[in-house]
Structure 1
């Protein structure tokens, strides 16, 4: 039987063929390695957390003391039990007998100490945030000392050598505080406060523990006390509101704050109601080291919201004295000591009493309230027994160095004015001790007054620059209380005051001032009952007086009442008024130094007059008590001469002493309307005028206690 040859099957061939090599998946291997490492790290972290959780981190006590002391530059010690661990996303911190020392210059040994502090701190904000967030804190018998040094450069709560930074509270959501005190001292502000916190234990779970606090302090030597309360943690857990109220009262101010807070120390975004009242708002702002003008008794209410570094007071309403006020106010607190506080405000009043303006320029508000405006003004500077008007309250130049301000204030009307005043617009810009009152504008008697005043307190001797401008204003409305009738007339006046003075009060500034004052009267008419006093035309004056027809229209061609001011002495330069019948001139002036007046007015007729006194009318005395001398020694001398002629010759000869030939030279109105000085004044024929004085300070004898009018009386 023949052999059948062996043939390999396909399966046999496949079984003997070696399998291809497997390719390694690199991505899968890397991912697996990463997961393993991450799992290991998580495991280690969990293990570390577990160790900390089980041991409560008590073994870290000395490590904490060493690291905290090194980081703060202060001695940090824990006398009793210590816990530090994650629970689970918040850091649990507990310390019994914790103390943190103060710098050597401080008056107390410790910045902080507590019998017990038990807290939960948000871990993320603690490690990465600018401000730590505390979820809950229990503080027993704690004491905090917050103190600035005498130069206001360093404080107890700023660690390291970065200087003194403003105090920033941690954001605390809930708190239980019992038997804790806080102390604050700022020598530069003359402010000290001591506050004690006490928990009130109540029955049932509606209240739990409410935190009450009270304390006292002094501000610039004046004592005050404060008190208030805050809702309990139990009430917050139940979904209740964190109600907060604070009251501060001193002899010179009272503050009330009420509202709801998001957390125990969280006022960011909270809408609080704030009320303040007192005899003078200056003492309220002294609490934060800000200088504001004095006021009479005030009462204000507003809503307050904190946004970042800003405290915004909105919907403000209230009054000061007999004047209303409303608007908004913002205080931006500096983030560090290199910056300055910025105050911004938009305020408005519908009606302001003229007396309430007095404290703004330096009058004593207490004297205004008790004595009235006239007595308060004229009883200043009692030393020499002379009544004074210009206030002498000094600018608080040291106080305005600590803040900047931008304020807009509008007033609709001024009540009880000497002249009609309305629509006042005041802009206040304080920038590093340079105070600008610009604009300071208002409508007055049918005209408009614009002014810009700059007070430079950057230099040791405060420098004030005045620039005041009056647009064409009807004379009848402006001077109606001085005898000028508010009757149909075309007479107007314009004015410009431009001066510069040195001194830290209005009186000192004007007493040293130099510059120019010019009042211009364009062509027009006005009515008056007193113009004949300056003309002193006996025939016409007596006739009108006996017939009760004293009022008469006066035709003014042009007029200039100008003064050159040198070192507080204002001399006429010139006073020249050209009317249809007379040319009126004056010599002399006044003094800002002692507020004395020494002026002599003369009116020379353009037409012949049989009975004319041709005698100057003197104005003397002081700003607060002027004296008008109509029957002058010169007139009496002329009357004596007429009497002698009447005795020696005849009664007709006696009239010769009172004859006015009517030779007055009309004024060229060009230099008058340009406000030119006396040296530039001319007659209508171009001749220099010799009847308007020299405009020199030597012409004025007002600063002398006993004086004659220009040496002619």
Structure 2
């Protein structure tokens, strides 16, 4: 009984003590007391702020910092949920542990030799199952590295320590790792690290760690797209010279698949570096490119690099260093790497710029390239030359600022000099200035010739908002083959916005341009909104300057709003004048398309048709006059510019509301021009003329060396009296003319096209009237002409006029030309040769009435287009004169017989002729003659 009572009392006391103990452990005061006790035991190296919780549950701390010889660790906003009952099993077990930020700073080594630990035994077994860190930053002598969203686990006991990275997403990819370290010397290692790209299948790498802390070996296997690599690194971490062996190889790496805009290459390499018994290093590194080329081929001008090394890590000699640039030449030399610095001196005697870029001239530059520096400062100096060429570059990188003391290049008399600095800091400050003296790109390679004398300076910053101030001055220069001057300023408008203000003036030849406005995004030059004033002697000059294919014109001036979005440029709501004509509308060019694409919608309220002479190869030289290069020709024979026709696609609409011409009574015109892949179409090209309409559909195909042309022109209701007012036949109605011209041709000028034209022309005039006097004179009817003069001229009815003309290789012949009135029928004969610009035509009159004194034509039209001759047929007049003289010798009264016209001509059957002609005019297809000709070609 007493024994039971003692046991019960002992159990009660134990339970009481346990309860008291649990109560004490659950109190926050106990946690704080323990923390103060531990901090005191560390000698003040442990600091904490805002600690709360209990030893039996979750513990939270606002800030925890520990400092030791290794450095320091700072933890913010940490929380730990542990399992105190596992203490009875001899283990500290933490179910979950988290921290918002962990900052680990390693102390500088100060050159002291690192000693291996005596033991890695954990004083008590521990395990952290789930450890999460929002941000982990590691700082050492090389800088600071940040890792985000780390999930890990770690554990330890008297046999080994283990760390596991369960999840870590970096900018390089997803990382997983598992590492075991033995607790006893030599501290055996066994681990693996895996890296996989964020996009599946792009690249993956696996590193296996084996050996021990005293002699560790890491083996790497990696694959990236078509490239692969392997490496082996052996280290003795606690030796004065830790590297034992390094061996690596890589195959088929193409930088263009990784970095946008980089040239392509197929890089492979290998290297082997080993330490001898005295811990000295020796080895060789080789890198090759199996697909070298030039930059304009989008290839890397590099074939092979090799170098041998020997020495201690603090003083390594580099010898047999070779940079083989393939067709671009070779650099060779030697150097050293000492005390974290490197010095390398390379020489060449055959650097060929043509091997780097095919547009550059072939060279054999000789000189030296010097590279040197350490972690803080890197230096580069280049000096090359040959007869007629000099290249110099002196630059350095210090404190993340690239400073160019001199950049100089000369070819012949052409020079370019620049200097400045570009910072790689957060703001990316820059300041660059330079000078061009007699700069001629053609002296350096296959570029357009120019002569540029200019000074420029740029300064500003890139981040966080681009800021720039620039000045440009070009004087006494020749660009685009034209004398050129230019001045301009660019200034940022606000410190919190990238917009910059532009004010630029340019004069090239007769072309003068002024632009003022805003550049929206100067870093990418993708957006501008500018006021443009443009003037010059001819729009054709713009082709030399900006590559826009425009025709020759008289002097012009244009003001409008120039808007750019990427490669699309628009001249909006512009207004101006070309020659004596006003012009307004919208114009757009898209340079992102191949070929470039132009679109325009143009209007002219007052159009002088001579101002459009450039569209057909002529040139306006004075109001109302058009001159051609050869004054003996009437038809323009200036060659079309095939390069212009193929340099752009176009969609242009034009309307001339009031048209002025020297001779033709045109009221208005409109056209829709389509140029696509070298084929130009005017469909339609319409004129309101002489009370009627001329509607045209014209095509010029320049896809071959000789332009092929097709024209279909319809004439509707043209009033002859208005069309030919100089004939003085407009006192009364003279009928309306309808017609159709359908021809095909080939040639590179208007003259060549008309000189090869083949096809048909049909013209018809129905009812109307014509001057009686003109008809009498056409037959040289002297008697009736005298009667008309005495009584006065009057109009007589036109029964019909029908013309069927055949074009054959530029020669026009009338198959039928009939002009029929009540008392006369006129017949046209002969030909007009457009190739040679000659006339050989006759107008034969067949009277229907009697005349007592008629010389009876015909009238010949001969000569050239420039100087036509209209004369009676002198041969027939001579025969009548001889007959009259002979009869006068026999019997004088009979002398008038040869001049007596008895008439007797019959009326022409007009209705079927007119009907047939109108059917031909209205036919929708090519004529049979055109179809046969087209088939032959």
The aligned counterpart of 1:572 is 814
Tell me, in whole angstroms, the C-alpha distance in 2 between the residues paired with 1:509 and 1:2: 139
Distance 1:614 1:425, change over 3 A: same
Tell me, in whole angstroms, the C-alpha distance in 1 between the residues paired with 2:646 and 2:4: 122
2:442–2:450: 8 Å Cα contact kept in structure 1? no
Q: SS in structure 1 opposite 2:887?
A: helix
| Residue 829 of structure 2 is aligned to residue 587 of structure 1 | yes
Q: SS in structure 1 opposite 2:886?
A: helix
The aligned counterpart of 1:649 is 891
Distance 1:63 1:408, change over 3 A: farther
The aligned counterpart of 1:273 is 531
| Residue 430 of structure 2 is aligned to residue 137 of structure 1 | yes
2:577–2:583: 8 Å Cα contact kept in structure 1? yes
CA deviation after TM superposition for structure 1 residue 392, in Å: 1.1
Distance 1:579 1:271, change over 3 A: same
Within 5 Å, which residues of 2 pair with 1:657-676?
Answer: 657-664=899-906, 666-667=908-909, 669-675=911-917
Provide, for residues 653-692 of structure 1, a one-character-per-residue CA deviation record: whole Å limited to 9, x for no partner: 62454223313362354245423999xxxxxxxxxxxxxx
Distance 1:46 1:109, change over 3 A: farther
TM-score by length of 2: 0.54
Tell me, in whole angstroms, the C-alpha distance in 1 between the residues paired with 2:544 and 2:763: 41
RMSD (Å), alpha carbons? 4.6
Distance 1:80 1:580, change over 3 A: same
The aligned counterpart of 1:116 is 420
Tell me, in whole angstroms, the C-alpha distance in 1 between the residues paired with 2:904 and 2:801: 19
Alignment gaps of 5+ in structure 2: 23-55, 57-82, 87-92, 102-128, 147-340, 342-372, 382-390, 460-467, 921-928, 930-937
CA deviation after TM superposition for structure 1 residue 308, in Å: 1.5
Higher share of residues assigned helix: 1
Distance 1:540 1:29, change over 3 A: same
Provide, for residues 590-647 of structure 1, a one-character-per-residue CA deviation record: whole Å limited to 9, x for no partner: 1112211111111212344444443211112222332211464313432442343344
1:420–1:478: 8 Å Cα contact kept in structure 2? yes
The aligned counterpart of 2:738 is 494
Within 5 Å, which residues of 2 pair with 1:285-304?
Answer: 285-304=543-562
CA deviation after TM superposition for structure 1 residue 393, in Å: 0.9
Query: Of the candidates 880, 885, 891, which is equivalent to residue 638 of structure 1?
Result: 880
Tell me, in whole angstroms, the C-alpha distance in 2 between the residues paired with 1:524 and 1:424: 27
2:637–2:750: 8 Å Cα contact kept in structure 1? yes
Tell me, in whole angstroms, the C-alpha distance in 2 between the residues paired with 1:636 and 1:427: 56
1:473–1:493: 8 Å Cα contact kept in structure 2? yes
Within 5 Å, which residues of 2 pair with 1:370-389?
Answer: 373=625, 376=627, 381=630, 387-389=632-634
Tell me, in whole angstroms, the C-alpha distance in 2 between the residues paired with 1:39 and 1:238: 31
Tell me, in whole angstroms, the C-alpha distance in 2 between the residues paired with 1:345 and 1:518: 35
1:574–1:677: 8 Å Cα contact kept in structure 2? no
Q: SS in structure 2 opposite 1:675?
A: helix
Query: Of the candidates 511, 514, 532, which is equivalent to residue 755 of structure 2?
Result: 511
| Residue 486 of structure 2 is aligned to residue 226 of structure 1 | yes
Higher share of residues assigned strand: 2
2:782–2:854: 8 Å Cα contact kept in structure 1? yes
TM-score by length of 1: 0.70
Within 5 Å, which residues of 2 pair with 1:154-233?
Answer: 187=447, 190=449, 193-198=452-457, 211-231=471-491
1:586–1:600: 8 Å Cα contact kept in structure 2? yes
Query: Of the candidates 51, 54, 59, which is equivalent to residue 375 of structure 2?
Result: 59
Distance 1:119 1:448, change over 3 A: farther
1:455–1:464: 8 Å Cα contact kept in structure 2? yes
Provide, for residues 454-486 of structure 1, a one-character-per-residue CA deviation record: whole Å limited to 9, x for no partner: 222211122222221112222222222333215
| Residue 712 of structure 2 is aligned to residue 396 of structure 1 | no
2:673–2:680: 8 Å Cα contact kept in structure 1? yes
Which of the pair has the greater relative contact order for Cα pairs under 8 Å at 6+ separation?
A: 1
CA deviation after TM superposition for structure 1 residue 115, in Å: 3.1
Alignment gaps of 5+ in structure 1: 66-74, 85-92, 123-133, 151-155, 157-184, 201-207, 679-694, 696-713
Distance 1:110 1:252, change over 3 A: closer
Q: SS in structure 1 opposite 2:606?
A: strand
Query: Of the candidates 760, 785, 793, which is equivalent to residue 550 of structure 1?
Result: 793
| Residue 783 of structure 2 is aligned to residue 539 of structure 1 | yes
The aligned counterpart of 1:442 is 687
* More deviation, 438-447/418-427: 418-427
Q: SS in structure 1 opposite 2:787?
A: helix
Distance 1:141 1:4, change over 3 A: closer
Tell me, in whole angstroms, the C-alpha distance in 1 between the residues paired with 2:438 and 2:425: 22
The aligned counterpart of 1:690 is none
CA deviation after TM superposition for structure 1 residue 211, in Å: 2.9
Within 5 Å, which residues of 2 pair with 1:356-367?
Answer: 356-365=611-620, 367=621
2:435–2:456: 8 Å Cα contact kept in structure 1? no
